[in-house]
């Protein structure tokens, strides 16, 4: 069985639907989880969907992903703009990573314009709300399928 895609969410994302809905929308994280799981199944992917308000827990999950996951979708929340530890963990994981933000971080405060996640990311999606997670899965399905085809060509 193929390894799952880890969909990891950082601080305050558990407050979706209640926290600043004009910026983040009215969908809850459980709503997003349902959409992600349904879309992943349609792509033939399994997902492990998690959220933590603790940087160290996110780092541990990213480290675990190196062996247990095929790829990572990461919305690190505010830790995007502050966490070298998350960057180091992503780099060490050596997996495809899609960075996702619900809001357009470039239309917001200037401190949100810098991402410590981006140097380790295969791609970045921002400003499209929860649809960004689905687009990240689409991209990862393509990336993972290309890797499978390349492996089959080398071994077949």
Residues annotated catalytic, as ranges: 24, 101
SS3 annotation, the chain: CCCCEEEEECCCHHHCCCCCHHHHCCCCHHHHHHHHHHHHHHCCCCEEEEECCCHHHHHHHHHHHHHHCCEEEEECHHHHHCCHHHHHHHHHHCCCEEEEECCCHHHCCHHHHCCCCHHHCCEEEECCCCHHHHHHHHHHHHHHHHHHHHHHHHHC
How many Å from the N-terminal Cα to the C-terminal Cα in the chain? 19
Contact of 13 with 29, CB cutoff 8 Å: yes
């Amino acid at each position: 069985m193929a390894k799952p895609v880890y969909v990891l969410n950082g601080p305050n994302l558990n407050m979706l639907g209640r926290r600043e809905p004009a910026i983040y929308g009215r969908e809850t994280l459980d709503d997003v989880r349902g959409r992600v799981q349904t879309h992943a199944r349609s792509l033939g992917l399994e997902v492990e969907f998690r959220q933590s308000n603790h940087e160290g827990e996110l780092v541990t999950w990213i480290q675990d992903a190196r062996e247990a996951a095929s790829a990572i979708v990461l919305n690190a929340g505010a830790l995007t703009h502050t966490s070298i530890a998350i960057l180091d963990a992503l780099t060490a994981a050596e997996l495809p990573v899609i960075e996702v933000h619900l809001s357009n971080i470039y239309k917001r405060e200037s401190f949100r314009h810098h991402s410590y996640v981006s140097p380790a990311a295969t791609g970045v999606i921002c400003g499209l709300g929860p649809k960004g997670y689905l687009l990240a899965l689409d991209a990862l399905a393509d990336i993972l399928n290309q890797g499978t085809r390349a492996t089959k060509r080398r071994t077949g």
